[in-house]
Amino acid sequence: QKEVEQDPGPLSVPEGAIVSLNCTYSNSAFQYFMWYRQYSRKGPELLMYTYSSGNKEDGRFTAQVDKSSKYISLFIRDSQPSDSATYLCAMSGAAGNKLTFGGGTRVLVKP
């Protein structure tokens, strides 16, 4: 079983809808939680990061971490066609010196 599980999708939504993404993990040592966006044939780019449990909001993006359930989420409000990409969750331990990724969820926002 993988340390980090993520539904591969694809997740197709109409423009303006809320996109809801999530990951579950098994390693209780994970302390830092990140979401990356990856466009086709490009490198991942950091969207959001959070430490431990709680919520964090940045513009249209909200990241949530529930360490008791080992579950993290990313919500994208007012989705745009430009949000069509693969979204990867990633986690690391306290040292932050290496990342463990989920498999990625492909999102398609239709105009």
Partner 1 sequence: NAGVTQTPKFQVLKTGQSMTLQCAQDMNHEYMSWYRQDPGMGLRLIHYSVGAGITDQGEVPNGYNVSRSTTEDFPLRLLSAAPSQTSVYFCASSSRTGIHKGNYGYTFGSGTRLTVV
Residue 61 found at the interface with partner 1 (CB under 8 A): no
19 vs 23, beta carbon nearer partner 1: 23
Residue 103 found at the interface with partner 1 (CB under 8 A): yes
Residue 10 found at the interface with partner 1 (CB under 8 A): no
Nearby residues of 89 by Cβ (< 8 Å), 6 or more positions away: 4, 6, 21, 23, 33, 34, 35, 36, 72, 74, 101, 102
Residue 6 found at the interface with partner 1 (CB under 8 A): yes
- Between residue 64 and residue 93, which ones bind partner 1 under the rule CB under 8 A? 88, 90, 92
Residue 32 found at the interface with partner 1 (CB under 8 A): yes
Burial class (CB in 10 A: 0-12, 13-18, 19+), 106: middle
